[in-house]
Amino acid sequence: MSRISERFKALRTKGETGLVTYVTAGDPDLERSAGIIKRLDTAGADVIEVGVPFSDPLADGPVIQRATERALAAGTTLPKVLDMLAATRADISAPIVIFSYANPILRMGLAQFVAQAQKAGVDGVLTLDMPPEEGEAFRTAFAGAGIDTIFLLSPTTTVDRIRKASVLGSGFLYGISRLGVTGVRDTVDDSARELAERVKAETKMPLALGFGLSRPEHVKAVGQWAEAAVVGSALVKVIAEHGQTPGLLDEVERYVRWLRN
């Protein structure tokens, strides 16, 4: 059983809603990214998603786009992200998921990426622009290294694709609660519940719901329908606001502990 599956099994046993946190690697720089990831683990994140900065994102809203720009300006690349994770993995207990577009992986070379990701202790990979129908080569390579393949579902995802994603994927399914780009919202969209109901009708695989969540009440609401809530833009915003201050890591930990409570 993978580290991701073990974490979701433990959450189910305890009857708790999981918290999945997203950060952009290299924002504000790789050294502080390592510290941020450690603090996320200390604060109780159940899964840590590490975003690989990419110059041509499709679904990222302005907050994550600016984080990506800062990370690229700091010289962040996919190989450097994996080196950073390899150096910090022993200090982190939570599962780590690489969040990337296909281009950086293909540019690095799929075989080389898989080898380095395995060495770095990566537990799962979510390739944002890789649908289940086209992800066989990635899935086979990841599975051979014991890495979970995580697929993205949206409110418009068909039943057929939900079934494919649950059969071909592993670890958990990532559901985006609304259409459009990432960004903080005041409320959880009704489409989140509707998507969760459709997914749950087709598979028993754990579901994590995200896009726009930023407060403890959002996490609580998502817990009614899914196994975990994903917080991304709101956390990246905290990093942006405190990135150049000595209190950055404390602010990150404080925010995640607040979400968990």
CA 193 – CA 176 distance, rounded (Å): 11
CA 136 – CA 149 distance, rounded (Å): 10
CA 171 – CA 260 distance, rounded (Å): 21
For residue 241, indicate whether it is catalytic. Answer: no
Can you tell me which residue has the tokens 């290294």? 145
CA 261 – CA 259 distance, rounded (Å): 5
Which class for 202: exposed (0-12), middle (13-18), buried (19 or more C-beta within 10 A)? middle
For residue 253, indicate whether it is catalytic. Answer: no
DSSP state at residue 156: T
Q: Which long-range contacts (CB under 8 A, 24 or more apart) does 217-225 make?
A: 218/187, 218/188, 219/17, 219/19, 219/259, 219/260, 220/17, 221/188, 222/17, 222/177, 222/188, 222/192, 223/17, 224/193, 225/192, 225/193, 225/196, 225/197, 225/200
Label residue 215 left, alpha or beta by phi (over 0 means left) and psi (-120 to 50 means alpha): beta
Catalytic residue among 27, 41, 46, 60: 60
Q: Which helix (H) or strand (E) holds 148?
A: strand 148-150
Catalytic residue among 27, 41, 46, 49: 49
* Positions marked active-site: 49, 60
